[in-house]
Structure 1
Amino acid sequence: MIPANRLEHVKEYYFSSKLREVRALQAAGKPIINLGIGSPDLPPPKQVIAALNKGLTQNGAHQYQPYKGTAEFRNAVAGFYQKYYQVSLDPETEIIPLMGSKEGILHISMAYLNEGDEVLIPNPGYPTYTSVSKLVGAKAIFYNLNEEGNWLPNFEELEQKDLSKVKIMWVNYPHMPTGASATEEVFEQLVAFGKKHQILIVNDNPYSFILNEHPKSILKIAGAKEVALELNSLSKSFNMAGWRVGMLNGSAKNIDTVLKVKTNMDSGMFYPVQAGATAALELEKNWFDAMNAIYKSRRAKILELAAALGCKPGKEQAGMFIWCKVPEGKSSEEFVDNLLHDHSIFTAPGFIFGDMGEGYIRFSLCTDEKNVDEAIKRIKG
């Protein structure tokens, strides 16, 4: 059978193929230390597991659930956004659950993009923005981020682009892979930019509680709901990556537009998952404080490893990664492959996030300190 034309310009996700190589090395007896993937190794909160188990025995738990999620889940999202972001959301009309942010990226793209439309995508940035845009027949227009500009959009450069065909602009703060955070002023500029050019601004916001004292939502900006949507997720903040649960928030009009796609793609999220997610969203701040104490300690170890490798980390990074510049004269792919084959240490090369990521690598904090100590020992000999 001949594959669809839409696959001609879409490659397999880097980690999908690279991890096959890593697993093959492990099967051959190599003691691989994986510092490449942002999959939390810490357990979810105990209250969440208890709520999941209780949910399994509730009446109707194994039936189809509402397309827009349970009222309990949506109310918990609204309460969470009010408490931590000072954002008011109508739980009836401005929230829908997602099976992870990736689902939301696809649904938003299918809801708003026609073939030939253009999409502003950060470089470096999450590769899924590009691949999904291509899958729906849209054209990716990259806007460059750099260390000198603190990995924030350069609005003067954006205004010089032909924006007549741009329908969506993807932003992601705290930023992956660099860990940069946006100020409220930057969010204000993004909202103004979206209004001026009739562009839907979508902020992908799963990292705002990891090593970040000041969580922010673009929806707090006055008038933001007119032109902005926000994706969020429990994957990182509550160590629930495998649960595949997140949310999309915005105006009732924009949510209803995306819902037209979503209701034709699934039949509602499993009730016990929503029950567990509700319990997570209702936790107090001490959950984040305890988790961040662990990540802070791990970050210190990763910085020691980076120094041993001659890599220079960026400043003031939020999230569960450390973004570092590799030594002069080496490519990120070469550096990562040498680490993997010479020292059995796997990290993510910056080029996979766009050509502005070349010359950098990304370390994950999702591993025990003992593993990082072993990695340091291997490098120092």
Structure 2
Amino acid sequence: MMSFSKRVAQVEEYYFSKKLKEVNKLISEGKPVINMGIGSPDLPPHPTVVEALYKSASLSKSHGYQNYQGIPALRKAFSEFYSKFYHVSLLPQEEILPLIGSKEGIMHVSMTFLNEGDEVLIPDPGYPTYTSVTKLLGASPVYYFLRAENDYYPDFEKLEKSDLSKVKIMWTNYPHMPTGAIADLSLFQKLIDFGRKYNIIIAHDNPYSFILEDKPKSIFQIEGSKDIALELNSLSKTSNMAGWRVGMLAGKSEWIQAITKVKSNMDSGMFLGIQEGAIAALALGEDWYQQLNQIYSERRKLIWELVEKLGLSCEKDTAGMFVWAKLPEGESSDQFVDSLLYTHDIFVTPGNVFGKLGVGYVRFSLCVNKTAIQEAINRI
């Protein structure tokens, strides 16, 4: 009989892939479900971004295969973006690799550095893809716990007491998803020092740094960080281009070349029109991010009101496009989510999706307009 590979048994279908089938079925049956579960921006990109895509797509020469590393103008645009907003210098031809969404970059980085039996430090709570990719490659996830009492920062003292001899990569992500915790540069310094001391790659996933954060940060603001760190970034959240699938990976030339070897065997480059749109997005000024954050700020205040009416609690000194809310002691995340869905037609994400320390929490997305959030409040 035909059998599946062992790696398929190591992972489950992505939570949103599975749960949204249930939610969409309810909607198809006429239920007025308000979806506050997924972080897919409901706002459009800037008009200049769409215009750049349209112009390029209108040219017959735009539809062929593209360079595996993106066109030079796109790499230059990413470099100028990092210089302007993070005050970080990146060589466009050597230290930047455009990606078809930063999610694929997690796989490319992992495939480049991991062998079966290697270990990977993964935040809990944290993005589930770090775990699934690690398992798919036959490596072992080792979770480091992020707790509210420690501002959702790693406990380096505890980490240093553990066996780190097999650890190759440490995934980190600030502003943190799902909690919204904000890093200061001293944390980035500790991460770089930790990676250098134990010869562990610090892979920083940075898609939320412009969402409700006054001072966007990059791990490359730390001196010497390129020796031991990589950084993923994305236009999905900051430019409302989630469906376009545009991201990037930055790091030292030697590592970017090795990762390109993997990537070039997995895709045939990004559509030129999307690259042109990305260049337009990267050229936007601070006013774009200010307008975006004004909208998210107003929505977040309403979500806070909804959280309070539901009898939950949340931290307010956060960034990113989610609100991380704590349930009353002993209440189940899954049961709360299903009760809210089937009683009030409101869908939020159970915290246990993000790890053991997500048990007893739920996550609300800000990718819902104010009218819908107010309707949710009225239902409660």
Cα distance in 2 between the residues matched to 1:77 and 1:36: 30
Cα distance in 1 between the residues matched to 2:337 and 2:244: 30
1:354 matched to 2:355: yes
Deviation string 1:107-144 (CA, Å, 9 cap, x unpaired) is: 00000000000000000000000000000000000000
Q: TM-score, normalised on structure 1?
A: 0.98
Letter of the 2:112 partner, please give it: A
Cα distance in 1 between the residues matched to 2:335 and 2:216: 35
**Helix, strand or coil: the match of 1:178?**
coil
Cα distance in 2 between the residues matched to 1:7 and 1:22: 25
Moved over 6 A (4+): none
Cα distance in 2 between the residues matched to 1:348 and 1:59: 43
Distance apart, 1:63 and its partner CA: 1.1
How many residues align? The count is 379
**Helix, strand or coil: the match of 1:305?**
helix
In the other structure, the counterpart of 1:285 is: 286
In the other structure, the counterpart of 1:253 is: 254
**1:86-165 correspondence runs (5 A):** 86-165=87-166
Cα distance in 2 between the residues matched to 1:115 and 1:329: 38
Distance apart, 1:198 and its partner CA: 0.7
Cα distance in 2 between the residues matched to 1:161 and 1:48: 48
In the other structure, the counterpart of 1:243 is: 244
Show structure 2 runs of 5+ residues with no match: none
> What is the root-mean-square deviation in Å for CA atoms of aligned residues?
0.8
Letter of the 1:291 partner, please give it: L
Distance apart, 1:326 and its partner CA: 1.1
Cα distance in 1 between the residues matched to 2:144 and 2:193: 17
In the other structure, the counterpart of 2:42 is: 41
Deviation string 1:234-286 (CA, Å, 9 cap, x unpaired) is: 00000000000000001001111111100111111100000000000011100
**1:341-380 correspondence runs (5 A):** 341-379=342-380
Cα distance in 2 between the residues matched to 1:268 and 1:29: 41
Show structure 1 runs of 5+ residues with no match: none
In the other structure, the counterpart of 1:182 is: 183
Distance apart, 1:59 and its partner CA: 5.9
**Helix, strand or coil: the match of 2:249?**
strand
Deviation string 1:333-370 (CA, Å, 9 cap, x unpaired) is: 11111101111100001000001111111000001111
Cα distance in 2 between the residues matched to 1:243 and 1:217: 23
**1:195-206 correspondence runs (5 A):** 195-206=196-207
**1:315-354 correspondence runs (5 A):** 315-354=316-355
Deviation string 1:1-47 (CA, Å, 9 cap, x unpaired) is: 21100111100011111011101111222110000000000000001
Deviation string 1:297-329 (CA, Å, 9 cap, x unpaired) is: 100110110010011011311010001101223
Distance apart, 1:87 and its partner CA: 0.5
1:6 matched to 2:39: no
Deviates more, 1:129-138 or 1:56-65: 56-65
**Helix, strand or coil: the match of 2:48?**
helix
**Helix, strand or coil: the match of 1:175?**
coil
**Helix, strand or coil: the match of 2:61?**
coil
Distance apart, 1:102 and its partner CA: 1.1
Q: TM-score, normalised on structure 2?
A: 0.99
Cα distance in 1 between the residues matched to 2:308 and 2:250: 40
Cα distance in 2 between the residues matched to 1:31 and 1:58: 42
Cα distance in 2 between the residues matched to 1:260 and 1:101: 17
**Helix, strand or coil: the match of 1:104?**
helix
1:24 matched to 2:25: yes
Distance apart, 1:223 and its partner CA: 0.7
Letter of the 1:239 partner, please give it: N
**Helix, strand or coil: the match of 1:295?**
helix
Deviation string 1:211-252 (CA, Å, 9 cap, x unpaired) is: 110110001111100110000000000000000000000100
In the other structure, the counterpart of 1:303 is: 304
Distance apart, 1:151 and its partner CA: 0.5
Cα distance in 1 between the residues matched to 2:134 and 2:362: 25
**Helix, strand or coil: the match of 2:255?**
helix
**Helix, strand or coil: the match of 1:60?**
helix
In the other structure, the counterpart of 1:191 is: 192
Letter of the 1:18 partner, please give it: K
Letter of the 2:45 partner, please give it: P
**Helix, strand or coil: the match of 1:323?**
strand
